[in-house]
Structure 1
């Protein structure tokens, strides 16, 4: 799984897939892989990074060690002098036997905020086969909020409680709030109350598309074992234009809980996973949905495209009507929840009770 879950290998595979599509299918198909920020592996790509850094003067970047987790070793920078100071304390020369590699990634400095706070989403994806690629995506997950309100002023660049959503970092804040997580279902309702159903469905359809494409990029490099499966934790950030960005993919995502809601989400994920694996042989292999998991790819795309009445334009805007929908205060969350049935893109659905698609069960390999 390292081709997907190691930060440097993930970006290598995504870039390779984008180049291949550009050569074989053209710019439009290649542009479907523009869901990750500009990223460079250091020290090997320092020259390329330097060119991009100078070309985008004034932008903020984030540095991440490829072999650590829980936010350890991460920092933001906007000056090359900050890199120079960092280099002095790290064995990072490419010819050093124990060089520690990092990725330098352009920081998404206009994130979508709720109550002024930045967040990302942890989404659960189950892969039961890489040949053929078989992908299940759980409808729930959670949004992780920062403890401090977001402010893009450069003077706040070292404030980890403002910029990094990792729970292991946020829990160290003096005024730490235990309620820094929302279930994704609650987040969807919030987004729909502000931007409408169409814009919210587009966002989560794009997230589903992004997840499947990331897996397609490593399909040929991950060794297939028909007796194995893997649960991944996808970390996704949404910007102010409701465009999703893939931040990283985690193997063996943490299943410890910090609240009752957190416990229920993770319990449901594990319970539904066991049902899909079907050790007792109770399933026929023809279902499209098992518990909270939807089959989104099984050698081919599952489901139909959502309505084209709202679409993302060339400048990544979903549309003024969608982004200003929140001005219609007459639409209550209760009313929205009752109307969210029957959408045709599995992971974008809020409530599947109205789906008319025939259920096709997991086909055991």
Structure 2
């Protein structure tokens, strides 16, 4: 899109904004799943063809990689990824940034502060850190490790191992010639200490899928959604898997279960530690991510609990699956994506001072955003965010209170 054409488009958009409200928002969508349904039904939003001028683009990371640096974007334009989002979402880079952040905290604030980053398993990139990994492996004989390709998802390419002979293909052999190394073309993996004591419910292992929306890195502004999902890509291989019901719990169901079994104080501490994971991981890449006012990012966090109710960060997804596996899953993702668009606020209906928008809580806004009930006093060991993760929320009533109706919209409108 040329600069002149985009500038003219922006002027037309501004005219509508000033004279009629934002009555027409042109969007592109590179996906054919739930987000396409949301955009198709959003009042005043119109889809444009591939070469059409757009105001909003929900693209895949491949489109971003090929087109971002060649596109001129007006003030109002929004796109669903940051340019180098992979600093948090590629498994090797996530760990590299967390390790660096932890060292910085230890140097500047001491070991106690640095220990708040001890929420990811021991991890090494192979083949580049093979020899360092071997030293760690030998210090823990008999332990189980898990190998993961750094840039794949949904469990693809993952396997467990207990013997070094099982990963000889990833051995960094200094005796190879450059030509032999090129011929080998070994894919980069991470070797990660396997969590051998996971928390089980009804004898089943599960993980938490939690969504975090970042609308700015400078200053850092992050929102947390009230959702828990088990990892269907793994669970659906179970012999008694029901594709209609799936293997999903809402977060409030999990929180109620854990509270009944372990007590209120224990579960409050657990959820504070989970909040801490989100905030520390984002802070670890804040200075690395290329901030751009046009960009936002919906991250899918995968977190595993062990038997001691310690949460472990497994990975962060830049393109969490938005394809529904059941009607319940569709309803949840529909609400999630609607609220994502509410927060991004292309229509200009918000004041900018909101702490809660639908299912989202503002948990960080250039510093911790505290709840309105005086919980800042609990700040001691962890960064306590304004989150109600796992709490029941009257989403529709809350949205009706904070959102102005779309231009020309009747009183009873879809939220």
TM-score if structure 1 supplies the norm length?
0.76
Q: Residue in 1 aligned with 2:198?
A: 111
Find the residue that maps to 1:284 and give its secondary structure: coil
Residue equivalent to 2:407: none
Q: CA deviation at 1:19?
A: 0.8
- Give the Cα–Cα distance (whole angstroms) in 2 for the partners of residues 214 and 285 of structure 1: 24
Cα 1:344–1:196 change in 2 (3 A) is farther
What is the deviation of 1:143?
2.7
- Rounded to whole Å, the distance in 2 between the matches of 1:204 and 1:249 is 18
Out of 21, 29, 38, the residue aligned to residue 122 of structure 2 is 38
Shift of residue 81 of structure 1?
A: 2.2
Mapped partners of 1:199, 1:139: distance in 2: 19
Tell me how far apart the structure 2 counterparts of residues 53 and 274 of structure 1 sit (CA, whole Å). Answer: 46
Separation (CA, whole Å) in 2 of partners of 1:45 and 1:263 = 41
Are the structure 2 counterparts of residues 349 and 82 from structure 1 closer, same or farther at C-alpha, using a change threshold of 3 Å? Answer: closer
Looking at structure 1, the residues matched to 262 and 197 of structure 2 have their Cα atoms a distance apart, in angstroms, of: 17
> Does structure 2 retain, via aligned residues, the 8 Å contact 1:183–1:261?
no
Question: Which residue pairs with 2:355 in the alignment?
Answer: 288
SS in 1 for 2:256: helix
Between the aligned partners of 1:169 and 1:210, the Cα distance in structure 2 is 23
- What's the CA shift for 1:172? 4.1
Shift of 1:252: 1.6
Corresponding position of 1:208: 275
Instruction: After TM superposition, list the pairs within 5 Å mapping 1:243-262 onto structure 2.
Output: 243-262=310-329
| Residues matched between the structures, number | 297
Distance 2:328 2:376 in 1: 30
Alpha-carbon distance, 1:79 to partner = 1.5
Question: Within the alignment, does 1:351 sit opposite 2:392 as a pair?
Answer: yes
In structure 1, the partner of 2:135 is 51
Asked if 1:141 corresponds to 2:228, the answer is yes
Residue in structure 1 matched with residue 341 of structure 2 by the alignment: 274
- Check if 1:129 corresponds to 2:216: yes
Residue 67 of structure 1, CA deviation: 1.9
1:177 Cα deviation after fit:
3.2
CA distance in 2, matches of 1:125, 1:272: 12
Bigger mean CA deviation after superposition, 47-56 or 75-84 = 75-84
| TM-fit CA distance, 1:185 | 1.8
Does the aligned pair in 2 maintain the 1:111–1:238 contact within 8 Å?
Answer: yes
Deviation at 1:191, TM superposition (A): 0.9
User: Aligned partners of 2:354 and 2:291: how far apart in 1?
Assistant: 23
Equivalent position of 2:303 in the other structure = 236
Larger radius of gyration between Structure 1 and Structure 2: 2
Q: CA deviation at 1:228?
A: 1.2
- Give 1:25's aligned residue: 109
Correspondence for 1:195: 262
Q: From 68, 91, 97, give the equivalent of 1:7.
A: 91
Q: Secondary structure at the match of 2:263?
A: helix
CA distance in 2, matches of 1:290, 1:94: 57
Q: What is the SS of the residue equivalent to 1:140?
A: coil
**Runs of 5+ unmatched residues, structure 2:** 1-84, 395-401, 404-415
Paired residues of 2:368 and 2:386 also in contact (CA < 8 A): no
For residues 164-217 of structure 1, give each alpha carbon's deviation from its aligned partner in whole angstroms, at most 9, with x where no partner exists.
xxx334434554333322122211111111112222221111111111110100
CA 1:263–1:94: 2 relative to 1, 3 Å:
farther
Task: Tell me the distance in 1 between the aligned counterparts of 2:139 and 2:300.
Answer: 33
SS in 1 for 2:313: strand
Written as runs of structure 1 = structure 2, the 5 A alignment for 1:35-114 is 35-84=119-168, 86-87=169-170, 96-97=181-182, 98-114=185-201
Deviations 1:286-334 (A, max 9, x none): 11000000000000011165786xx99xxxxxxxxxxxxxxxxxxxxxx
Structure 2 CA distance for partners of 1:70 and 1:351, relative to 1, 3 Å: closer
Matched-pair contact (CA < 8 Å) for 1:201–1:348: no
Using a 3 Å threshold, how does the CA distance of structure 1 residues 294 and 103 change in structure 2: closer, same or farther? same
Q: Give the TM-score, by structure 2 length.
A: 0.67
Q: d(CA) in 1 for partners of 2:141 and 2:290?
A: 41
CA-CA distance at 1:118 after TM superposition:
0.4
**How big is the alpha-carbon RMSD for the aligned residues of Structure 1 and Structure 2?**
2.5
> Which whole-Å CA distance do the structure 1 matches of 2:367 and 2:237 have between them?
44
Q: 2:365 aligns with which of 291, 298, 304?
A: 298
